[in-house]
Amino acid sequence: MKSFWKSLCLFVASFLLSITILHTLPVGAQTPSRAPVSGSCDCPYDSDSSGRRCGGRSAYSRPGGRSPVCYVDNAPASGSAPQVAPSAPVESAYNRYMRIAYAASGTSDYQTALINFRRALAERPGDRFATEAIANMEAAIERSRQ
């Protein structure tokens, strides 16, 4: 049931973001060729897996590599719908820090784990999992000093 509500929230957020983008474009600005996608950074108006706007981190904005069609002005002249190649899911900074921290704690490298749990908490302030993990690492460090 949680995944249904999460999916619904992501859909609504994506819809609201697309409306916001369309209504805040200045006259003469580029018109997006599709609605924003959550969890993908193909276009600048997409959002990453943690919900932040991709902007300059998008594949469209970076030189080299893939060049997805993100704006109507860049669409092929044939009139067909723009084709954007599916991309592998992008790991959020929060998930990357948590993964590194758990791996470090598994090898008893509590300092590295603590640093990365704190970085994860900085990405998601107030996160229960990162907060509890920080407390656990501080306790483990204290135990190892005795």
Structure tokens belonging to residue 65: 């590599």
CA dihedral of residues 59, 35, 49, 83 (deg, nearest 10): -40
pLDDT digits 0-9 by tens, 5-24: 666 555 655 555 454 544 44
Tens of pLDDT, residue by residue over 63-77, are 766 777 777 766 555
Own/partner pairs for 48-55, CB < 8 Å, 24+ apart? 48/90, 48/92, 49/89, 49/90, 49/91, 49/92, 49/95, 50/92, 50/93, 50/94, 50/123, 50/124, 51/13, 53/17
The residues spanned by each domain of the chain are: 10-74, 93-145
User: How many other CB atoms are there within 10 angstroms of residue 68's CB atom?
Assistant: 21
Distance CA(41)–CA(36), nearest Å, equals 9
The amino acid occupying position 124 is R
pLDDT value of position 25: 45
Q: Read off the tokens for 95.
A: 């998930």
Give the predicted TM-score (pTM) of the model: 0.42
SS3 call for 32 = strand
136: confidence class by pLDDT, cuts 50, 70, 90: very high
